[in-house]
Every structure is written in C-alpha cells, then in structure tokens.
Chains A and B, each alone.
Chain A
C-alpha cells in the first residue's frame, strides 16, 4: 500500500459484519479512504448506511455482534487492527483518536460533577497530580468556551450546548490527532448548533486537529467538511471536496444528487420537494450489482449485474457509478 505523509490515517478495504442469528449483516463492505492532516472529512448518508459503524471501527470497538472481518486502519504507520486490546487502550484510544459519540451529552453520569467526570477520564490515562490535572482541565474548558464554574455542577444543571462542549473538551485533553464526531449537533437547537460548529472550526485551527464529522444532514456537512464522503448501504458512493459535492456543477453520483434535492433549502421556495422512493436495501442480502440500482432512475442493465468500482473522475473526486461520466 502506498504511504502518504500527508495522511494521518488510512483505511484500506475495511469490512465489518454484524453477525446476527439471521446471518452476517454487511454493514461495511470493502471501504477504503484516508484522512489528511488538518482537514475535516464528512461522512453522510441515511440511517443504516454505515457511517457510525465506520466511526466505531476506527477505534476498533465495533458494537456487538459486529466484528471487523478484514482490512487495515493505518495510523502513524501502524495497523491498529493488529494491536491487542490493552495496547489500543494505552496508545490509541483517546491518545491518538478520540470520539464524541452520538448523544454522549445526554449520557453524562448524573451523580458525578463535571469535575469528577473529567478527572476520571484524565487520570485513567495519565498519572497526574490533582492540581495539575485540574489546571489542564480548566485550560481545555477555556478552549471550548466554558468557565471554571461548571466544574462543580452536575449535568442536569447545564444546558444542551454546555454539555456538548464538555463532551468535546473531554475528547480533546489527551491531545489526540484525530477526533471523530458522531452527530454532535443533531439534538441541539439551530442557534446552539451554529455555535458548536463554529467551536469545532476554531478548535481545528488552534489545535491542528483532523476531524471526521458524521451526520445525516447534508446541510450541516456543507458548513464543516473539507471533503465529503457519501455512503450508501455499507459502501462509499462518492467522495469529493466540498466544492465538488455542493458546488454549482452538482455531485456526480445519482444518490448524492437526489439526496441533495431532498434537502430543503431555507432561501429557495420550491413547489414540491424531491424524495427518493423506496428504502435502503437489506444488508443481509444486498442486491447484486450497484446497491442503489433499485431506487435509481438512471439504472441500466449493467447496474443490475455488475458492481461499480469507486473510480477517480477528477483529482480528489471518486465516484462509484457506471453512468457517472455520462452527464
């Protein structure tokens, strides 16, 4: 495999299956991508497309009954999937890669103060005196725009935005290089959502971080992601830069196009919103050929028979569609 110094992480041919009683669910089927230093990579798609699964796979902690079947995840020149659990705990999780889980802000232990919550995480990883640890914590609280007053408070005394900021600070204070954010703004109000997005942008600059930003909302992704990876039914449908996906020309994969048409825009009055008929396929038995062909209005015979590879149609822009160059 080629090694590129710009890349902080490389994922090659990753397969993750959920082994259910009905058979393996192919949640991630041969997914390859990379993350560059200092960029935000957005993962978008409908529920069940494998975006959260990708996030947990990168930390090598698939939720049961999931298991990584094959593939490699290379961070700092080392395949973290070959490491054993205790090494990953010691050297990878939170040290190199941390994650803001979906709904984490609502899962803060209600009987712990913020101070205790944050100290626990920090002291688990670092042997540090309480004073030093607290100084570090308060520095990170400052970075996420909170004052030290919150330390003595309990989660129920804080607003949603404040809790999300605490979760973000907790993900950052071991100085990881990569932060995975899974739907960090979904449960928040629009105004708070905009504030959190601004915060993530500032942090990316200040701390030189690389983000993976997972969301189902194409509109939010447009605000944060330098590159966007659209997933459908456990596969990557399209990867491109922000401009290639959201620009005038429009994306190249029919799924991305239709999804973008289905996203309501505030300043554009449309008579009828478009939608994609049907539902994503059952991943126990994915359809042959292109996984999107059953819902695609551009499908031809070849789409039903052969699976399209992810090919580069211009620099940085890769699409998995037989017909993508025809329009």
Chain B
C-alpha cells in the first residue's frame, strides 16, 4: 500500500497515480453464474505514474492498449476498480456530487472527432457557453459571452465575434478543433486531456493545431495529457511519453530516449513499424520484430504480458511474475526483465 502522506507532499506533481486499475465485468454465462465466476476485461491493469505541473504527458499505444480508458479515468468519466489518484495533493480516486463537479472544472477534455463532439444545432457561441451555464460561473449572459470571446481569441479564431455566430458545419476541421479547444479552456482548467486531437485533421493543418495547442499551454501554464497512437506527433508534441501495452505501461521517459534508444521490445517493434517519408523503401519488405496480434484483454498472458509476441522471450519471462517499471536513470523507465541482454 502506498503511503498517502508521502504522496501528498510532492507539490510539483499535479497528478500522482498509483496502481490504477479498471476492470470491466463481462456478462456471465449460465454456468459461470452458478459457479459464481466472473471474467473481466482488464482494460487498465495497474498503472503508476506522476504528471508534473505544466508538462505535456503522452500516452501512446495501439488500439485496445487502454490509453483512452486511462484518459477517461483521469477525466473521472469512469470510476477505477482499484488504485489511487492524487490531484494537487488531494485524493480524487472516488468523487461524487459537488466535489466531482469542481474537479471536472479543473480537468477538461478535447475529443478526437471535432465533427461529432459538437451539437450541430448549436452556434459556436452556444457550444462554448454551455459549460459556463452548467457550472454556474457567471450570473449574467454578458459576462459569459465576454468569456467566450476571450477563449476564441486564445485559440486564434479571429475575429471571435464572427465565429460565435457560426454553426459547426460552417467551420473547417481545423477550425472546429480550435473551437473544441476553446470549449475546454473556458472553465480555466489546469489540466486538459486530449484524446487523439489531430488524428481526423488533414495533414497540412495538423501541425497548425498542435502548434496552437502548445502555445495555449505555454500562455496559460496548462498541463496536457496527450493520448495518441502516433509516435511521430508524440515525439514532437510531448515532454514525456508512456508506451502502453495491454493495460500496462511498458516504457516511460522523455521522447528522445524512448524513440532513439527504446529498451522494451514492444517499443522497438512499434518504432520499426512506423513509416517515414524517405525514398528507397519500395522494394523492401519491412521487418517488424513482433509476432501475431494483440491478445484479448480478457485473457492476459501469464508473466510478462508481452511474452507471446516477444522475439526475445525466454523461460523466465513467463515463469516469473510480471516485471515492474525499473528506472534506468534519467527518468527512463522500462518494464522488461531482459532489457540489458537485448
């Protein structure tokens, strides 16, 4: 068990997460019901990390690795099965009522799909005003609209007054994602969880949006949690990267270390699989040092959960207990028993 007083002392860390788990129960068959068995999808299976104030923390992994569930746990859209979450020195593992509302004001989210995350019948003004109404921050409408204007200026939707009167369909993908970012800023949060914010945006404007988000982060001193499957943008955008596999963090560190000197075999495979825009690769078959496909989160392999796909796995990898994250120095952590040999 983690010592709570010790956790609370560290003020540099906006989030301290220890052993966080989210297991989703699977509907039982008749037999299982009588045998009183219950199977679970272990979407997030014991993750621990700290997020520093003012940093951009990247969660990277393939689909099904639990990165979005982690985002939802941090947003408090889901309650964890077990574990502990400390936000600004306060335990926020389980919240309800006004406390939860207060927390959500401080932690906001930008969603993946800017086409689906806005009510098509709302003008941008209404989209942005809604959080202010829900959280009852202003009594008068004029105050709210002033705030909306400020938020739109912050994300460089100029002139704000003109954009306030538009409907979402009148905006391009990039502009919508700017408006979505403005919506997440409007309650003066300290943390923004961005779940694949640029994956649906055209390549030519993708960098523009990331650039804008970075500027906003610097201007307002925000902390970002950037969830993505794309290592290339994560390298450019984040201060630290956590690579997730089947509900666990397998490697964590600053982007240069993780991408240029990956230590976990899974991270290596991911990096080998990324396409790069350089000539001369057409006639070569790419080698991806990984076997098969990601197993179901219902039957997690014994020992190191990566061992069935790992080209370096040896007996100790499935015989012994699961490896924990180990510090290699300089804040580069890896959860692999054999990282030194490979």
- Residues of A at under 8 Å CB distance from B? 40, 46-47, 159-161, 189-195, 197-198, 201-202, 216-226, 242-243, 245-248, 258-260, 262-267, 269-270, 272-277, 279
Complex interface: chain B residues within 8 A of A198 (CB): 285-286, 288
| B55: min CB distance to chain A, Å | 17
Q: How far is the CA of A246 from the CA of B282 in the complex (A)?
A: 11
Q: How far is the CA of A282 from the CA of B163 in the complex (A)?
A: 19
The reply to whether the CB of B232 lies closer than 8 angstroms to some CB of chain A is yes
Q: How far is the CA of A197 from the CA of B275 in the complex (A)?
A: 10
- The 0/1 profile, CB within 8 Å of A marked 1, for residues 252-284 of chain B is 000110011000000001111111111111110
| B207: min CB distance to chain A, Å | 4
Across the interface, do A277 and B208 meet the contact criterion of CB distance under 8 Å? yes
> Given the interface contacts A191-B290, A198-B285, A258-B204, does A273 sit within 8 Å of B274 by beta carbon?
no
Q: Which of A159, A216, A272 contacts B203 (CB 8 A)?
A: A216
Q: Which of A219, A242, A248, A265 contacts B282 (CB 8 A)?
A: A242
> Given the interface contacts A190-B274, A194-B273, A262-B206, does A279 sit within 8 Å of B174 by beta carbon?
yes
A-B contact pairs, 24 of them (CB 8 A): A46-B203, A161-B293, A190-B231, A191-B273, A192-B293, A194-B273, A194-B275, A198-B288, A216-B203, A219-B275, A219-B277, A222-B278, A222-B279, A222-B281, A223-B286, A246-B279, A260-B277, A262-B207, A266-B259, A272-B211, A275-B205, A276-B204, A276-B205, A279-B174
Q: How far is the CA of A160 from the CA of B294 in the complex (A)?
A: 11
Q: How far is the CA of A197 from the CA of B276 in the complex (A)?
A: 13
Q: Which of B63, B207, B232, B288 contacts A266 (CB 8 A)?
A: B232
Besides A194-B286, A219-B276, A262-B206, 7 other A-B contacts (C-beta < 8 A)? A201-B283, A243-B279, A246-B278, A262-B207, A264-B207, A269-B236, A270-B236
The reply to whether the CB of B172 lies closer than 8 angstroms to some CB of chain A is yes
Q: Which of B174, B205, B279 contacts A242 (CB 8 A)?
A: B279
Complex interface: chain A residues within 8 A of B285 (CB): 198, 201-202
> Given the interface contacts A191-B62, A265-B232, does A247 sit within 8 Å of B279 by beta carbon?
yes
Q: How far is the CA of A245 from the CA of B277 in the complex (A)?
A: 9
Across the interface, do A242 and B286 meet the contact criterion of CB distance under 8 Å? no
Q: How far is the CA of A113 from the CA of B269 in the complex (A)?
A: 33
The reply to whether the CB of B233 lies closer than 8 angstroms to some CB of chain A is yes
> Given the interface contacts A46-B202, A279-B172, does A274 sit within 8 Å of B275 by beta carbon?
no
